Amino acid sequence: MADKTQEAGGVHFPFPFTPYAIQKDFMAALYQVLEAGKIGIFESPTGTGKSLSLICGALSWLRDFEQKKRQEEERLLEAGAPASNNGLAPAPGLPSSCQGSPGTPEATGEPDWITQFVQKKEERDLVDRLKEEQVRRKKREERLQQIRHNVKLRFTAKRMRQEDEETERLLRLSSEMLAAGTEPEQVASGEEELVLAEYESDEEKGVPSGVDVDEDDLDEEHVTKIYYCSRTHSQLAQFVHEVQKSPFGQDTRLVSLGSRQNLCVNGDVRKLGSVQLINDRCVEMQRSKHERKSITEEEEPTRRRRRQEPRASCPFYSHERLQLLRDEVLAGVKDVEQLVALGKEARACPYYGGRFAIPAAQLVVLPYQMLLHAPTRQAAGIRLQGQVVVIDEAHNLIDTITSIHSVEVRGAQLCQAHNQLLQYTERYGKRLKAKNLMYIKQLLYLLEKFVAVLGGNIKQNPNTQSFSQAGTELKTINDFLFQSEIDNINLFKVRRYCEKSKISRKLLGFTERYGAVLVPSMEQPKLSGFQDFLQSLQPGAVAAPAAPAEVGEDRSPRPASPLMHVEGFLEALTAANQDGRVILSRQGSLSQSSLKFLLLNPAVHFTQVVKECRAVVIAGGTMQPVSDFREQLLASAGVEAECVVEFSCGHVIPPDHILPLVICSGPSNQMLDFTYQKRGLPQMMDETGRILCNLCNVVPGGVVCFFPSYEYQHQVYAHWEKSGLLARLTIRKKIFQEPKKANRVEQVLLEYSRCIKHCGQARGMETGALLLSVVGGKMSEGINFSDDLGRCVVMVGMPYPNITSPELQERMAYLDQTLPRAPGQACPGKVLVENLCMKAVNQSIGRAIRHQKDFASIVLLDQRYASPAIQAKLPAWIRNRVAVKATFGPAFAALRKFHREKAGLS
C-alpha cells in the first residue's frame, strides 16, 4: 500500500497505511516526550501496531530534529556567532556556547576585553567545528549514496577477498618451509603469552592501559540517534523488519548490534561454543594484532631469538574491509542475519563493523542487556549523552537490571580458582614481578576466606566437605567483609588488577594448554593432594602433566575460567552497602554451596542512563502496574514526578470481541480459593477439572490453561488421571503439557497447532486442544495464541512468588525502609508481591488477542480476582470489561453465548 502522511498533534507522521486512532495518539504523545526530553511509560496492547507507532513516531521526531539542527547550523555559519537555540536541544559534540553563555561579563568578574576575547574565540571555534561537521556529513552522504547505487563496492570487496586468499596461501607455504628447516624444540615453546606482564596501576602509570588503538579513519562524531532495545534477538529482528516495511526503511541509517556469539564469522572462534571463550579468544586475537603492529625494527631481532610461537590474528579484522562493511551497513536497513551474511561475503567482522557504524547511525537496535550493563555499553562504543533510548518489552525491566548485576559463585568454583592460581604461581612464580605476586597472594587470600566463610577448607576436596545443617544466611556487604576478614583489602585495586592484567584469561590459557594439573616433579609430594582434588572438579583430567595441545586439534570447549566468576563477585562487593546483600547458601557439600550478591536497588544502575540521555521511553504491551517503574526505578534514580509521562491506550478490537470473567465458585458451588494452603486439596483440583470440562464443551479450537507452577500443574494432572476427569477432558480436547526443556517447546506448539487445524476440518467430537501451561514458563511470554490457537485463556489461581524466599523477603524489607508509605495504602513490600503476581498474570492472559479481528474469552479462577485493588492492576482494555460471577451458572451461560455468537467469525 502507498505511504500515507498522517497528522497528529500538528506533526506529520509518514505511515504505510491509514493508522488506528490509538496509533495517532501514541505517535503524538511519543513525539512530545522526545521533544520535551522527558521519561515516557507507554503501554499499547499487542496487536495494536506498537512497533510501527514507535518507528514512525520516533523517526519523525528525529527527522524534524535534524532539520532544525541544520537550519540552526546554517544560521550560525551565516551570522558567524552563536545565538539562542530557540528551544532546540544541543546536539552532542557542540560546545556549551551553542546553548547561550552561562554567565554575564559582570558575573564572571573578568575585564571586558578578556571576556570579549574568550567569546570571540569560542565563536570562531564553533564556526570551525560546524564547517568540519558539514564536510564530514557531506562525505558520508556521498559515500552512502554511492554504495546504494552499488558503485565499485562488490568489485572492491571481491578483489580484496582474492588478495586475502592469495596472502593466506603464501603464508601457509612459508610456514611449511620454515617448519621443515627448523628444530621442533625451537618453535614449540609458546608459553610467553601465559606469563603475566609487569603490572603497574593506573595511578603509577598516569595513563590508562588497553589494547584498543585510535582508528582515525573510522572515527566520526556521534550524531543524535535513537537506541532501540528489546529482550531477545528474535524481537529485535522483527522490529528491524518493521522498519524495512515502514516509510523510513529506505533512508534510515540503522545498525543492528549483538554479541560475538551471534555475529562472529570466524569458524575457528565460533566452534569454541561458550560465550566467554568466544569473547576471550576474540580479544586475544585483536591484542595480538595490535602488539605485532607495535613491534619496532629494533625489537624484532630480540623477538626472533625467543622463537615464540606467533599468535594468530583474526583474518576478518581489516580496517579497509571494516570501512566497506560499515558503509554497507549504513546504506540499507539490515537485521543481524543479513549483517552476518554480508560480513561473510566481504570477509569482514560484523561485530566490529557494526560497532564502527554506531557514530553515524540514526537508529541503533540492540538487546537491552547490552545497554543496561555499563561495562558492556562502554566496550561496544555506545555513548548515551544527549541521545534517545527506547526500551521495548520493558514489563520485566526491573528484574532484568537486578539479574544482570546479581552474581553467584559456587564453592566448587572458588576451590577450583584457588587451585589453578596456586598451580600457575608454582610454575611461573620466579618469572613474575613483585607487584604481580602481591596481587596474586591477595587473590589467593580472598578465595581462602570466601571458602572459610562458607564453613569449608580450601585445602580439601569440596565434594567431600559436607555440612550437617543446610540453609541460607543473609548479610550486608560490610558485615560480610568483616565476617570474611577481608575488610583490610582494597577490593577496588584488586578488581582493577584483574581487569588490566587479564589474569583470568592467562589462567584459562594455562589450563587449556596443560589440562587440569601441571605439577613440577620436584614439587609432586607437596601438591599431590591437589591433583586428586582438581581431578574431581574436572572429569577426565589426569595426574601427569599434560602435553601441550596440538595446533588445530579439535577439542570440546572447556568452561570459562572460574576466576572470571570470582571477578564478577568482587566487582559486586564494591557496591554501596545499602544497595545490595550477600547471601551465604550452604547446601549439602561445599561444592554445591554458594555466595551470591543480590542487588536491591536497580535504580543505581539506571540512574546513569536517565541522566545522560535526552529522553527515555519505556514501552510494552502490558506495563501495568506502573507503580514499580515510577517508585523503584525512576523516583529512586532522581527523576521528578513531573518529568514522567504515562500513556496507555485501549485495544483495537471491538468491545464485544473479548469476554473477561472472574469466577468465584465452581459447578458444585466449591469456593475457588487457590491459596498455597488450599490449592492442593482434592476438592479444589476436582472443581478445576469440572470447570475445564464445561469450558471445553462450548469453546471451539484451543484452550490455554495457566497454572502457578510446574509442580502444581503436574500434581493436578496426576490427580485428574486417578479421578477420571482427564478421560472426560480428552473427549472434547486433546491435552498437551508445556515441556520444561526449551528445545521441546516448538515441537509441542507445532503438534498443538496441527491438532486444532485437523479438528476444525474434521468436525468430529474432538473440537480442538487443551494446552496446560505455566505462568512465567516458556509459553507465557513471546508466544502468540492468535485466532483458533487461543479462543479461551484460563488462569488457575494467582501466581504469587514464594514469599519465604530470602531474596524476596530482603527486597520487601528494603522497599519498606526506603520507599514512603502513602496513607491508607499497603506497605511497599506487600505492593511488590502483588505487582509481581499481576505482571505475570497480565503477560499470560495477553497471549490470546493478537490482532483487530481476533476474539477470545479470559477466565480468572480465584475469588481474589474479585477484589477492586487486584482488578486495578489489570490492563485497562481488560479491566474496563471484566465481569465478576459469584456462581458458575451465569458465568457458563455468558461463555456459551459469547462463543456461539462469535462462531461465524472464525
User: pLDDT tens digit string along 632-648?
Assistant: 889 888 889 899 999 98
pLDDT (0 to 100) of residue 555? 39
| CB-CB contact of 700 with 903 (8 Å) | yes
Residue 299 reports pLDDT greater than 60 = no
Residue 684 reports pLDDT greater than 80 = yes
Task: Read off the pLDDT of residues 128-146 as tens digits, 9 standing for 90 and up.
Answer: 676 777 677 676 666 666 6
Q: 710 vs 313, which has greater pLDDT? A: 710
pLDDT (0 to 100) of residue 211? 35
C-alpha span between 903 and 756 (Å, rounded): 15
pLDDT (0 to 100) of residue 72? 78
Find how far residue 623's CA is from the centre of its chain: 18
pLDDT (mean) for 18-36? 92
Q: Give 168's pLDDT tier (boundaries 50, 70, 90).
A: low
Question: CA 807, 812, 816, 820: dihedral to nearest 10 degrees?
Answer: 120
Lowest mean pLDDT among 61-65, 127-131, 257-261, 625-629: 127-131
Q: Give 846's pLDDT tier (boundaries 50, 70, 90).
A: confident
C-alpha span between 225 and 386 (Å, rounded): 9
Q: Give 502's pLDDT tier (boundaries 50, 70, 90).
A: confident
Give the H or E element holding residue 283. helix 275-294
Residue 190 reports pLDDT greater than 60 = no
pLDDT (0 to 100) of residue 218? 42
Residue 3 reports pLDDT greater than 60 = no
Number of other residues whose CB lies within 10 A of the CB of residue 792: 27
Q: 737 vs 309, which has greater pLDDT? A: 737
Q: Is 515 left (phi over 0), alpha (psi -120 to 50) or beta?
A: left
All three cell numbers of 247: 516509510
Beta strands across the sheet bearing 856-861: 733-737, 768-774, 701-707, 792-796, 856-861, 658-663, 883-885
Number of other residues whose CB lies within 10 A of the CB of residue 521: 8
Q: Give 538's pLDDT tier (boundaries 50, 70, 90).
A: very low
Of 9, 73, 71, which Cα lies nearest the Cα of 36?
9
Residue 310 reports pLDDT greater than 80 = no
pLDDT (mean) for 345-370? 90
Which DSSP letter does residue 634 get?
I
| CB-CB contact of 581 with 477 (8 Å) | yes
| CB-CB contact of 774 with 761 (8 Å) | no
pLDDT (mean) for 53-68? 92
Q: 789 vs 511, which has greater pLDDT? A: 789
> How far is the CA of 522 from the CAs of 290, 418, 515, 543, 684, in angstroms?
39, 21, 19, 14, 71
> How far is the CA of 811 from the CAs of 580, 600, 602, 873, in angstroms?
9, 6, 11, 21
Using DSSP's 3-state secondary structure scheme, residue 261 falls into helix
Of 592, 594, 569, which Cα lies nearest the Cα of 580?
569
DSSP characters over 506-524: HHHHHHHHH-S----GGGH
Task: Read off the pLDDT of residues 92-121 as tens digits, 9 standing for 90 and up.
Answer: 433 333 333 334 444 445 667 666 666 666
Question: CA 56, 15, 395, 652: dihedral to nearest 10 degrees?
Answer: 160
Residue 755 reports pLDDT greater than 60 = yes
Directed axis angle between helix 503-514 and helix 491-501, to 10°? 50
- Where does 596-724 have alpha helices with state H? 603-612, 627-628, 682-698, 710-723
pLDDT (mean) for 827-842? 91
DSSP characters over 881-901: T-EEESSHHHHHHHHHHHHHH
Of 784, 785, 783, 780, which Cα lies nearest the Cα of 769?
785
Lowest mean pLDDT among 627-631, 709-713, 849-853, 893-897: 849-853
Using DSSP's 3-state secondary structure scheme, residue 564 falls into helix
Contacts 24+ apart (CB under 8 A), 863-868: 863/664, 863/665, 863/671, 863/672, 863/673, 864/673, 864/798, 865/662, 865/798, 866/662, 866/664
Residue 432 reports pLDDT greater than 90 = no
C-alpha span between 509 and 512 (Å, rounded): 5
Residue 449 reports pLDDT greater than 90 = yes
- Where does 221-270 have alpha helices with state H? 233-245, 260-263, 267-270
Using DSSP's 3-state secondary structure scheme, residue 705 falls into strand
Placement of cell 536491591 in the chain = 600
Q: 71 vs 173, which has greater pLDDT? A: 71
| CB-CB contact of 795 with 844 (8 Å) | yes
β-sheet bridge partners, residue 127:
none
pLDDT (mean) for 378-405? 91
Q: Give 151's pLDDT tier (boundaries 50, 70, 90).
A: very low
Lowest mean pLDDT among 198-207, 483-492, 510-519: 198-207
Find how far residue 35's CA is from the centre of its chain: 27
Of 882, 897, 700, 883, which Cα lies nearest the Cα of 792?
700
Task: Read off the pLDDT of residues 241-295 as tens digits, 9 standing for 90 and up.
Answer: 999 999 998 888 999 998 888 889 888 888 887 777 788 788 777 765 555 544 4
C-alpha span between 355 and 227 (Å, rounded): 13
Residue 418 reports pLDDT greater than 70 = yes
Number of other residues whose CB lies within 10 A of the CB of residue 5: 10
| CB-CB contact of 235 with 392 (8 Å) | yes
Find how far residue 202's CA is from the centre of its chain: 30
Residue type, 42: F
pLDDT (0 to 100) of residue 858? 95
| CB-CB contact of 256 with 270 (8 Å) | no
C-alpha span between 681 and 683 (Å, rounded): 6
Mean residue pLDDT across the chain:
80
Rg of the chain on CA atoms, in Å: 31
Ranges of beta strands (E only) in 787-868 are 792-796, 856-861
Number of other residues whose CB lies within 10 A of the CB of residue 872: 12
C-alpha span between 646 and 631 (Å, rounded): 14
Find how far residue 18's CA is from the centre of its chain: 34
pLDDT (mean) for 646-668? 91
pLDDT (mean) for 339-356? 90
Portion of the chain with pLDDT greater than 70, in percent: 75
β-sheet bridge partners, residue 227:
364, 389
Residue type, 899: H
Of 118, 350, 381, which Cα lies nearest the Cα of 227?
381
C-alpha span between 307 and 189 (Å, rounded): 8
Using DSSP's 3-state secondary structure scheme, residue 100 falls into coil
- Apex 730 CA angle, 728 and 732, nearest 5: 90
Residue type, 452: A
Q: Is 540 left (phi over 0), alpha (psi -120 to 50) or beta?
A: left
pLDDT (0 to 100) of residue 109? 58
C-alpha span between 591 and 588 (Å, rounded): 8
pLDDT (0 to 100) of residue 627? 86
> How far is the CA of 474 from the CAs of 571, 596, 632, 801, in angstroms?
19, 10, 22, 19
pLDDT (mean) for 837-842? 92
Q: 192 vs 488, which has greater pLDDT? A: 488
Lowest mean pLDDT among 26-40, 62-76, 272-286, 416-430: 272-286
Placement of cell 502507498 in the chain = 2
- Where does 454-561 have alpha helices with state H? 477-484, 491-501, 503-514, 524-537
pLDDT (0 to 100) of residue 814? 92
The answer, yes or no, to whether the previous bond of 90 is cis (omega within 30 of 0) is no
Find how far residue 761's CA is from the centre of its chain: 42
Q: 776 vs 165, which has greater pLDDT? A: 776
All three cell numbers of 199: 603490572
